[in-house]
A = this chain, B = another copy of it.
């Protein structure tokens, strides 16, 4: 019996409300051995109060030593084994621009590139053209038509774009055309099974036209394709947990990830205050709220320790607005660690705070990696977090008699 079958078997409905507050890349490292992490450095009186009343732990996003991207990181938090449900880069990129991918769609991440007169790649990022140029080129490419296929071309940022082919029966198993180096020509798209060979033919026809359309647009006179894939078949969050779920996320990627498991994606505004307002407005309409905060990750990626500390303190400041709603279960965690020291995602276990009426309190008095290490939840794989949420919400029957 897999985890989702167990959940489906045990779940019951009640009136409880669960809030999953995800501070992206929350986990950190001290700059020097023996020092404090970003979270330990931040003054977080509201989170500390929750830590005293609740229970702490550390979440392993995938497996020990494995650093997740945003996709696997969030799928784990949503209770989907990230090794079982894998998402292609093209799909993530499409989700990341709020493109509503359907079951007949093949999504492709594109990179504008520069070709010389012999068709050899001289720059894999087309001199990192400005976003407005990329947008204009995408508008031109979007006009290309292929018989029997709907084609969508959307800009992402600078030299990055998304291409979607929509038609029944298209396969998503097509090799990249990006050769990953300059000095050679782009590769032809090659399908790895019958359905994907059809997709490859469509891609080839599209690229032929694209070459003509872009021929005078150097340095961005062509583009390569990567991460060609379909949206994975993934059970909906409501089907698994019986929860009406809403996402209150500002950044498109996280809205897309929520949409991937069929959460309702709410218009969240731009600031934490906006997100809290949206949460308050929607409070009666849903059982489960996924609230996403990006800046703990982006400051970590920037290697800016004090900025990450400040972002954590800003998050702490809105916690009373969330607790005022009296959620039955409030979980504060991250999808992975992003230590400022490393300027990147990392494999380190992620702090978890769970506050609920029946949590077994531990000796922890503040929210931080060191305290979490001694917390009542121990260290556990992220995919089990939703079971803990369901249990603390009184939404699980007992297993067996």
Interface: A219 (CB within 8 A): no
Binding stretch for chain B, among A149-157, A205-213, A367-375:
A367-375
Is the Cβ of B3 less than 8 Å from the Cβ of A63? yes
Is the Cβ of B69 less than 8 Å from the Cβ of A399? yes
State the CA gap A378–B386 with chains docked (Å).
21
Which chain A residues numbered 85 to 126 have a C-beta less than 8 Å away from chain B? 86-87, 89, 92-93
Is the Cβ of B30 less than 8 Å from the Cβ of A384? no
Interface centre among A66, A82, A339, by most chain B C-beta atoms within 10 angstroms, is A66
**Closest approach, in angstroms, between the C-beta of A395 and any C-beta of chain B?**
10
Interface: A251 (CB within 8 A): no
Interface: A398 (CB within 8 A): yes
Interface centre among A65, A87, A369, by most chain B C-beta atoms within 10 angstroms, is A65
Q: Assuming the A-B contacts A33-B361, A92-B401, A358-B346, are A58 and B396 also in contact, with contact meaning beta carbons closer than 8 angstroms in the complex?
A: no
Interface: A83 (CB within 8 A): yes
Which chain A residues numbered 1 to 58 have a C-beta less than 8 Å away from chain B? 1, 3, 6, 10, 29-30, 33-34, 37, 52-53, 58
Interface size on A, residues (CB 8 A): 68
State the CA gap A16–B205 with chains docked (Å).
45
State the CA gap A72–B10 with chains docked (Å).
14
Is the Cβ of A33 less than 8 Å from the Cβ of B10? no
Q: A29-B358, A33-B361 are in contact. List 15 more A-B contacts (CB 8 A).
A: A37-B360, A64-B388, A66-B387, A66-B396, A66-B399, A68-B400, A69-B399, A70-B401, A71-B401, A72-B399, A87-B400, A345-B398, A346-B358, A347-B391, A378-B379
